[in-house]
Structure 1
Amino acid sequence: MKKTVINNIQHLKINLQPEHSFSARHDVVPYFFSKLHYHPEIELVYIIKGTGKQFIGDSIHYFKSGDMILVGENMPHLWRSDEKYFSKKAASACEAYVIHFTQNCFGKDFFNLPENKILLTLFKKAKQGIRISGNTKSAIMHLMQELLTASSTKRILLLIEIMDLIANSKHTKTICRQNAYLNFSASDSERINAICQYIMRHFNHKLSLKEIAEVAHLSPNAFCRYFKSRIKKSFSNFLIEIRIGHACKLLAESETPVAEICFECGYNSFSNFNKHFKLITKKTPLQYRAFYQKVEG
């Protein structure tokens, strides 16, 4: 994949084989590409192995093995692997199936055919990001595996079958708000990525406004205005979402006491942690853990 900087976020050029009209890959990498980026291709990702922070449009969540996401064209996104994957002594790699295709990959009029109206609706919905679960996810995972080794017309039929399954499924959920495209200029690219990467590395420590403003080479007041105008939420709300997302991950994956999780996520006040957690998840930490264990069990 070739990288250039356009409209601030990194624009990734998806390379295609001469005999292919769209890309299907099985990636095994030390960590996923961690810079905020976009591309004109619609992207379907199935995470086989890996955990970390997922940023799509204005939405921040944690990703884990087994997640399947459809990301619409030109939607800013990143999957930042957890810090353990960046260590030179990392014991495991990240792994994913990835499909990239444009709406014109089969010709400019193909998806405008009357029979494909439902797919055009899906592509519009994908601009909010779509999480795929249940039996639909399982069926699509097997089709993605088949697609990796398919050739000729079979590749086209498999891609259409995958999109048709998603379009008709009841096991999908949008991830972010409508019109959640971020507001950047070309000169912002490295600055925005530096800010996001710094927050994701240091959210579990006391992170002051002055400290993060220095990363952006701005005064605290100027940074607040700058961040909100580009990310469409305040720095404080962005940081809260990162911290509560990490708390959700720890509650789901461990039996670590809630008080310990509170401090591990960068909070020094248990009451603030509980207030923010319930504000975002609509549950207390213990209710969230019990709910997650029930769903997984």
Structure 2
Amino acid sequence: MKPIFTRILEGSEIATYATKEVCQPFFSTEFHFHRACQMTYIVQSEGKRIIGDSIDSFSTDELTFVGPDLPHVWYNNSSNRDSTHLSRSMALYVEPKLLLEVFGQLFKTHKIETFLTASKRGLLFRGETKQQLKHKLEQMLQLDYGFKKTILLLEVIELLITTDEYEYLSSPGYTHNYSSMDNEKIDRIFKFVFNNFTKEIPLDQVAALANMSKHSFCRYFKSRTQKTFVQFVNEVRVSESCRLITENKLQITNIAFACGFNSLSNFNKIFKGIKGITPSTYRAQLRI
């Protein structure tokens, strides 16, 4: 999964931080990474997101924090790509090196440094912390750059470094070896999988998208993602099955086939291998 390296804050009004609001038919960025940290609140949208080696569904009212140089992307469901289902998000970008330099002149920054280290795995916030961060981000977007907006930034940072209302997204040992080259190929593969995971995906068809032989493609994909292509597809399917189980509208058997699995037993085995529990147990836990 070779993402694009992007320069978020170059040319911005303020070099240390920036806020951004997105409202369009669908999220259109490609798989990318940047030195700036990114806090994102999904105002309205749903689909699949990749943060590091985490592949999962996202939906409205989700708030994440992506640390420096952590690859990420949000893909919308193809069914939502029309003007009646606008995708809306709010984001805060912070340049960590400059932030530490500025704050280092005022106080010790070890708590911020600890948080930034944790954020390199990607964080998903919940509870009261999520609501407070969302509210402060909404306020920041309404202000010009100045004292009031910067004070809100400080309040956001204080919340981030003092809360424990979050979970990690990427695995503990995750690292990436991506460069700014060759991004189109992997982004094309991602989009193909997200649009076709409900049916069988022949390996030779995907390899052809990358203009590679099957053997070369498998080696290429594994070296970039630290997982096999089959494992990647299974994780996409399981993330969708979790979303459907949460909606509680379909039987487990129907969900298995709706997500591209060829049998219930195969679905149960792969789901348990990824989530550690069976689909039925997952549903039962949601009811508690």
TM-score norm. by structure 2 comes to 0.92
- Between the two proteins, the alignment pairs up a number of residues equal to 286
For residue 175 of structure 1, report the CA deviation from its aligned partner.
0.8
Moved more, 70-79 or 30-39: 30-39
1:43 counterpart SS class: strand
Aligned pair 1:265/2:262, yes or no?
A: no
For residue 108 of structure 1, report the CA deviation from its aligned partner.
2.8
Which whole-Å CA distance do the structure 2 matches of 1:21 and 1:215 have between them? 40
1:13 counterpart SS class: coil
Is the Cα contact below 8 Å between 2:100 and 2:109 reproduced in 1?
no
For residue 150 of structure 1, report the CA deviation from its aligned partner.
3.0
1:110 equivalent in structure 2? 103
For residue 148 of structure 1, report the CA deviation from its aligned partner.
1.4
Aligned pair 1:180/2:174, yes or no?
A: yes
Aligned pair 1:126/2:119, yes or no?
A: yes
Q: Which of 45, 48, 52 is matched with 1:53 structurally? A: 48
1:68 equivalent in structure 2? 63
Instruction: Provide, for residues 129-150 of structure 1, a one-character-per-residue CA deviation record: whole Å limited to 9, x for no partner.
Output: 0111111111111111111123
Which whole-Å CA distance do the structure 2 matches of 1:44 and 1:53 have between them? 17
Unaligned runs of 5+ in 2: none
1:77 equivalent in structure 2? 72
Moved more, 96-105 or 73-82: 96-105
For residue 283 of structure 1, report the CA deviation from its aligned partner.
2.3
Instruction: Provide, for residues 33-76 of structure 1, a one-character-per-residue CA deviation record: whole Å limited to 9, x for no partner.
Output: 34101111100011111111110111111111111100011111
Is the Cα contact below 8 Å between 1:53 and 1:79 reproduced in 2?
yes
Which whole-Å CA distance do the structure 2 matches of 1:77 and 1:31 have between them? 16
2:167 counterpart SS class: strand
Which whole-Å CA distance do the structure 2 matches of 1:185 and 1:129 have between them? 19
For residue 107 of structure 1, report the CA deviation from its aligned partner.
7.2
Indicate how the Cα distance of structure 1 residues 105 and 161 shifts in structure 2: closer, same or farther if over 3 A, else same.
same
Is the Cα contact below 8 Å between 2:2 and 2:224 reproduced in 1?
no
Moved more, 153-162 or 111-120: 111-120
Q: Which of 266, 274, 279 is matched with 2:273 structurally? A: 279
| RMSD, matched Cα | 2.1
Bigger relative contact order (CA 8 A; separation at least 6): 2
For residue 161 of structure 1, report the CA deviation from its aligned partner.
1.3
Is the Cα contact below 8 Å between 1:76 and 1:181 reproduced in 2?
no
Q: Which of 269, 280, 284 is matched with 1:290 structurally? A: 284
2:89 equivalent in structure 1? 96
Instruction: Give the letter for the 1:229 counterpart.
Output: S
Instruction: Provide, for residues 208-253 of structure 1, a one-character-per-residue CA deviation record: whole Å limited to 9, x for no partner.
Output: 2112111111111111111000111111111110000000011112
Indicate how the Cα distance of structure 1 residues 107 and 173 shifts in structure 2: closer, same or farther if over 3 A, else same.
closer
Indicate how the Cα distance of structure 1 residues 228 and 49 shifts in structure 2: closer, same or farther if over 3 A, else same.
same
Give the share of equivalent positions with the same residue, in percent.
28
Equivalences for 1:141-152 in 2 at 5 Å?
Answer: 141-151=134-144, 152=146
Which whole-Å CA distance do the structure 1 matches of 2:233 and 2:223 have between them? 16
1:256 equivalent in structure 2? 250
Moved more, 106-115 or 269-278: 106-115
Which whole-Å CA distance do the structure 1 matches of 2:71 and 2:58 have between them? 16
Indicate how the Cα distance of structure 1 residues 261 and 161 shifts in structure 2: closer, same or farther if over 3 A, else same.
same
2:28 equivalent in structure 1? 33
2:96 counterpart SS class: coil
Which whole-Å CA distance do the structure 1 matches of 2:17 and 2:6 have between them? 15
Is the Cα contact below 8 Å between 2:4 and 2:180 reproduced in 1?
no
Indicate how the Cα distance of structure 1 residues 69 and 269 shifts in structure 2: closer, same or farther if over 3 A, else same.
same
Instruction: Provide, for residues 3-41 of structure 1, a one-character-per-residue CA deviation record: whole Å limited to 9, x for no partner.
Output: xxxx95222333565367421122212111341011111
Which whole-Å CA distance do the structure 2 matches of 1:253 and 1:27 have between them? 27
For residue 290 of structure 1, report the CA deviation from its aligned partner.
2.9
1:4 equivalent in structure 2? none
Is the Cα contact below 8 Å between 2:4 and 2:181 reproduced in 1?
no
Aligned pair 1:42/2:30, yes or no?
A: no
Unaligned runs of 5+ in 1: 1-6
Aligned pair 1:12/2:11, yes or no?
A: no
Instruction: Give the letter for the 1:143 counterpart.
Output: K
Instruction: Give the letter for the 1:37 counterpart.
Output: H
